[in-house]
Amino acid sequence: MEQPIISLKGVTYKYPDGNVALDGLDLDINKGEAIAIVGPNGAGKSTLLQIIAGLIPISSGTLTIMGKGVTADNVEKSHELEWLRRKLGIVFQDSDVALFNSTAWNDIIFGPLHLGLPTEEIVSRGERVMEQLGIQHLRDRAPYHMSGGEKRKVSIASVLSLEPEILLFDEPTSDLDPRSRRGIVDLLKRMTSEGKTVIVATHDVNAVPDFATRIVVLKRRVLASGDVRTVLSNESLLETSELDVPEITRLFKVLSSIGYTTSELPFCIDEAVKQIKASSARVHVHPSTVSNMESRCDP
């Protein structure tokens, strides 16, 4: 059996003030997986990503990435983790944190430049990722003259230019308009189809079924881990972890309560379309049922 690309055993992380963010966390991630890490605020999602990225040292336990151990000692001496920087990229939630240069181009080439790549390679990578994300027009623009969606794309480009095998995203769809959000979800799907290992910490359960092959429910430790259908069908787990099902699933739950029959609940638009096409059921809705439906749809 192939070894996991990332392995965390009994990982605990305590903040300097003594509060525990992660408590004895065990998690194995295989190459090419697209994992959504979900959980309530304060569950430790961002902390977990920063630990995997070798940015903050674990208090106890072991972290192995591509068969190599990442210890608290070599996290402190950041030059000892150069191999990790070449293999793994992290996109921060706050784009203003990730874009610390005065132009998009300078941010995009920052990684390759600091890994000591030849100039031609740096320029080629920079131009390639800008084309890939359609942001050539932002090349010389300062971050304070960009919209939220543009900043997010540039911060993703600044990580993709490292050409990492493992990509970590912290809330990539938060604070984005619907079109930008769609673009980011499509990008996550594309990354997965290219065989990259993608790990996304998110609150956006609507986006999860679109790209994730596995969901990990986190609340200081792993509460559950499994495919999208198994986890999102477990109502008691969703209750415990303060999560909800995607909007489309809620809609079909309401529809099924008024007589629409489906073989199984869909979790994304594509599944819903398949369900509708496959279903021969027709709904004849009485006006009183409509008003009942409206009350169910109220948030």
Fill in the per-residue mask, 245 to 274: x = in contact with other proteins (CB under 8 A), - = not in contact: ------------------------------
| Nearest to other proteins of 59, 292 (CB atom) | 59
Is residue 119 within the footprint of other proteins (CB under 8 A)? yes
Nearest-approach distance from CB 160 to other proteins, in angstroms:
11
Is residue 56 within the footprint of other proteins (CB under 8 A)? yes
Nearest-approach distance from CB 253 to other proteins, in angstroms:
38
Among 9, 15, 60, 96, binds other proteins (CB under 8 A): 96
Question: How many of the other CB atoms lie within 10 Å of CB of 277?
Answer: 7
Is residue 143 within the footprint of other proteins (CB under 8 A)? yes
153: nearest Cα among 110, 195, 108: 108
Is residue 157 within the footprint of other proteins (CB under 8 A)? no
Paired with 7 in beta bridges are 28, 64
Is residue 124 within the footprint of other proteins (CB under 8 A)? no
Is residue 137 within the footprint of other proteins (CB under 8 A)? no
Among 4, 89, 183, 209, binds other proteins (CB under 8 A): 89
HSE, side-chain direction, 13 A CA sphere, residue 22? 29
Is residue 279 within the footprint of other proteins (CB under 8 A)? no
Tell me how many residues contact other proteins (CB under 8 A): 38
Is residue 145 within the footprint of other proteins (CB under 8 A)? yes
Is residue 72 within the footprint of other proteins (CB under 8 A)? no
| Nearest to other proteins of 80, 182 (CB atom) | 80
Is residue 121 within the footprint of other proteins (CB under 8 A)? no
Query: 162-191: which residues touch other proteins (CB under 8 A)?
Result: 162
**Binding residues for other proteins, per CB under 8 A?**
50, 53, 55-56, 78-79, 82, 85, 89-90, 92, 94, 96-103, 106, 109-111, 113-116, 119, 122, 140, 142-145, 158-159, 162
